[in-house]
Amino acid sequence: MKIETLPLYDRLIEKILSFYATIWKDKLPDGIHNEWLGNFKNVDDDIQQKERLNALFLLSKFMYFGNVELRELLKCVFRDLYKYRVVKKIREDNNDTIDSVVIEQKYKEELLKTRFLGVGNPSESGVHILYYFRQENKLKKTFFINPLDVFQNQLIKEVSNCGKERSYYELSLADENITRYVFIDDFCGSGTQAKDYSKKIVELIKTINPNAEVSYLMLFGTDTGIDTIKKETQFDFVEAVFTLDESFKCFSENSRYYSSNQYTEIDKDFTKQFSQKYGQVLWPAHPLGYKDCQLLLSLFHNTPDNSLPTFWCDNNWNPIFKRYHKY
């Protein structure tokens, strides 16, 4: 029997099975979708069947980026969001030169004046991906520093006119030759973490050296989160390889997952209703994902809590894309 003539449930299962052999092969054990679908229970068999069918439809639309895809995205961060911008500025400053020797030499000089940093503490994903970022872009480890290594405290001792001594510490940049600081992150949802980092670190950098360029580059970012960072922080340049607009919000009016839905069995309003129902139990504060983001997204190393909790929560629930929380 051709797949096109199978019932919708079987067609979706065929699609899910193909994922195991391709994009899920480095993440999910075979058959885990059955355990996950078993979470959706209802005393009414017809409603239970409808919930599982619609949940399976969402699973077929879920975006998962494995180790291979993640590494390719990290190449894009460096090439498209960092290197191309630096080269563009070099050309502009040199009468739009196309001399590759001149461009390459000056690019190396600019790279030496750049430091890459993660977002968050050493145990968080923003720092974790720097390891792969360094490998894939063949960068020396000297180009990477911890946020605390940006600054240094210098002990100043002074003697007043009346002969009284006083001592104090003066904060300065640890290396005055560094003119560009690039913060790398895997995902930006609301922009809250970037705003905190701006207050703790970026504002200090800009106060000490207003001419220093500080960038925030990410693999994925919602358009609202990116806009918030641009408006409410002192980052000079904010950009993502993959921007998630309103259409990536699962149940939004312009949802890309239902925009051309040709299946009469698939019901967006019904799916939102039961996702909210289970979400109220799994994560009452954010039943459809942190700050109602309603995403269908998971990365090789973790799942953002902005995604629907029915996919990642493990609170008396069998997740299919488990999230590792910050405790």
Q: How high is the pLDDT of residue 326? A: 64
Q: How high is the pLDDT of residue 3? A: 47
Q: How high is the pLDDT of residue 1? A: 42
Give tens-digit pLDDT for 205-244.
999 999 999 999 999 999 999 999 999 999 999 999 999 9
Paired with 64 in beta bridges are: 298
Rounded Cα distance between 40 and 48, Å, is 7
Identify the three-state secondary structure at position 115. Answer: strand
Cβ neighbors of 93 (< 8 A, separation 6 or more) are: none
Q: How high is the pLDDT of residue 41? A: 95
Q: How high is the pLDDT of residue 327? A: 53
Give tens-digit pLDDT for 164-175.
787 877 889 999
Q: How high is the pLDDT of residue 159? A: 77
Q: How high is the pLDDT of residue 158? A: 80
The neighbour count for residue 15, using CB atoms within 10 Å, is: 15
Q: How high is the pLDDT of residue 286? A: 97
Q: How high is the pLDDT of residue 98? A: 94
Cβ neighbors of 129 (< 8 A, separation 6 or more) are: 70, 74, 118, 184, 186, 219, 301
Q: How high is the pLDDT of residue 126? A: 66
Q: How high is the pLDDT of residue 154? A: 83
The dihedral over CA atoms of 302, 303, 306, 309, expressed in degrees to the nearest 10, equals -140
Q: How high is the pLDDT of residue 122? A: 62
Q: Does domain 67-147+176-244 have CATH number 3.40.50?
A: yes
**Token pair in block for residue 181:** 């600081």
**Token pair in block for residue 233:** 């922080």
Q: Which residues of the chain have pLDDT under 70?
A: 1-5, 121-126, 326-327
Rounded Cα distance between 209 and 294, Å, is 40
Rounded Cα distance between 74 and 69, Å, is 9
Q: How high is the pLDDT of residue 23? A: 87
**Token pair in block for residue 188:** 């930006």
CATH 3.40.50 residue ranges of the chain are 67-147+176-244
